[in-house]
Amino acid sequence: MYWLLSASPSPDGPQPPKSLEDAQDSAGEAAGWVQEHWSDWLATGLRIVFVCAVAIVLRYLIRRAITQLITRMNRRAEIADSGNALRGLLVSGERRRQRSQAIGSILRSVASFVIMGTAAMTVLSGLGINLAPLLASAGVAGVALGFGARDLVKDILAGMFMLLEDQYGVGDRVDAGEVSGVVLEIGLRVTQLRGDGGEIWYIRNGEIKRIGNLSQGWSMASLEVRVRADEDLDEVRAAIEAVGEEMGKESPWDEILWEPVQLLGLDEVTLDSAVLRVSVKTMPDKNLAVERELRWRIKKALDARGIRLVDEPSLALQSSVQSVRSVPSQSPSLEK
């Protein structure tokens, strides 16, 4: 054993000690060196273990607190929606669940990155590793990555704020400017829309300057009824009100129509026509279907009462014909 302790490296390999006294001196020096530094090693090891334990416990507690916070917020929203039937129709449980999962995942990832990164830096510093070159290299790499991937960072930040502000969710019909459609998926970088023709649009979140959500709140169905100027307007009003009352009692329109059909009055009066404005508040994204059904029913009701409708092209044609007829005919005069 003393031979192993006293062995010194040499070009020809380890050599045995020359005497027992040399072996004892080498063993004493080794024991003294270990005794001198063992307290530092023990303190460093305990510090590293303590930092790792604190980081693991803190990460677990913060992630659990975030999960409980998201769950509590969902529970409060469900309780509030149970007392408000209208709001319960606007915000579905599936949409709320997807949004809460996305927000919770982002917060947990950020918390884990910050805590574990700080713990790793503390451990490396405790081992005596100089962090200045590492931090300088990381700073240069971060600046280069920031310049090279600034669009990516912009898209991710925009996606995070869209989720946090609940601007739209999966299943909503939105107008993103150049394209519009139904939201299929919301990512941190890209939002997917299903267009009216079945195509799928991939829109970078950072490129969305403005967006209109057609599925939040309510929609308004509005249409014009243009009749001849000599028609009985009271008869027209009675026909439209009867159509609205009948439509509000039939399924599925009794759920889609959130208010009675209203005849707002005369919107325009000319020598040839009178325009009446009809509107009704509907379920989100159901206004086009309500407008088509109202046109169908109003047309049939007016035909049954013998009330004639006119359109703008025919009016323009009649006006042009009348203007031509109103011009006096002039015959060229013969010079004598």
DSSP letters, 188-212, are SSEEEEE-TTS-EEEEEGGG----E
Q: By the 8 A CB rule, do 302 and 233 touch?
A: no
Is residue 314 over pLDDT 60?
A: no
Q: What is the pLDDT of residue 1?
A: 39
Task: Kindly state the average pLDDT of the residues 80-84.
Answer: 52
Q: What is the pLDDT of residue 320?
A: 43
Work out the mean pLDDT of the chain and round it to a whole number: 75
Is residue 312 over pLDDT 80?
A: no
Q: What is the pLDDT of residue 330?
A: 45
Q: What is the pLDDT of residue 170?
A: 78
Q: How many CB atoms lie within 10 A of CB 95?
A: 18
Is residue 335 over pLDDT 70?
A: no
Q: What is the pLDDT of residue 215?
A: 76
| Residue of higher predicted confidence among 323 and 309 | 309
DSSP state of 216: S
Range from 88-102, 176-190, 321-335 carrying the lowest mean pLDDT: 321-335
pLDDT band at 8 (very low <50, low <70, confident <90, very high): very low
Q: By the 8 A CB rule, do 166 and 99 touch?
A: yes
pTM given for the model: 0.52
- C-alpha to C-alpha distance for 174 and 59, rounded to whole angstroms: 38
Task: Kindly state the average pLDDT of the residues 129-154.
Answer: 72
Element (H, E) at 107: helix 93-126
Residues β-bridged to residue 266: 276
Q: By the 8 A CB rule, do 269 and 229 touch?
A: yes
Q: What is the pLDDT of residue 57?
A: 92
Q: What is the pLDDT of residue 184?
A: 85
Task: Kindly state the average pLDDT of the residues 189-211.
Answer: 87
Rounded to the nearest 10°, the torsion over CA 163, 164, 165, 171 is 30
Which residue's entry shows tokens 């739209």? 168
- C-alpha to C-alpha distance for 139 and 142, rounded to whole angstroms: 5
Handedness of CA 261, 265, 267, 268 (dihedral sign): positive
Task: Kindly state the average pLDDT of the residues 224-253.
Answer: 88
Handedness of CA 4, 7, 10, 15 (dihedral sign): negative
Which residue's entry shows tokens 């009701």? 301
| Residue of higher predicted confidence among 26 and 71 | 71
CA-closest candidate to residue 173, choices 214, 217, 220: 214
- C-alpha to C-alpha distance for 23 and 45, rounded to whole angstroms: 31
Q: What is the pLDDT of residues 27-73, one digit of tens each?
A: 666 666 656 666 666 777 888 888 889 989 999 999 888 888 878 87
* Chain centre to alpha carbon of residue 80: 22
Q: What is the pLDDT of residue 328?
A: 46
Type of residue found at 318: Q
Q: What is the pLDDT of residue 89?
A: 47
Task: Kindly state the average pLDDT of the residues 194-219.
Answer: 85
Q: What is the pLDDT of residue 157?
A: 83
Which string of b and e fits 166-190 if b means at least 16 CB within 10 Å? eebbeebbbebeeebbbbeebebbb
- C-alpha to C-alpha distance for 6 and 123, rounded to whole angstroms: 34
- C-alpha to C-alpha distance for 174 and 193, rounded to whole angstroms: 8
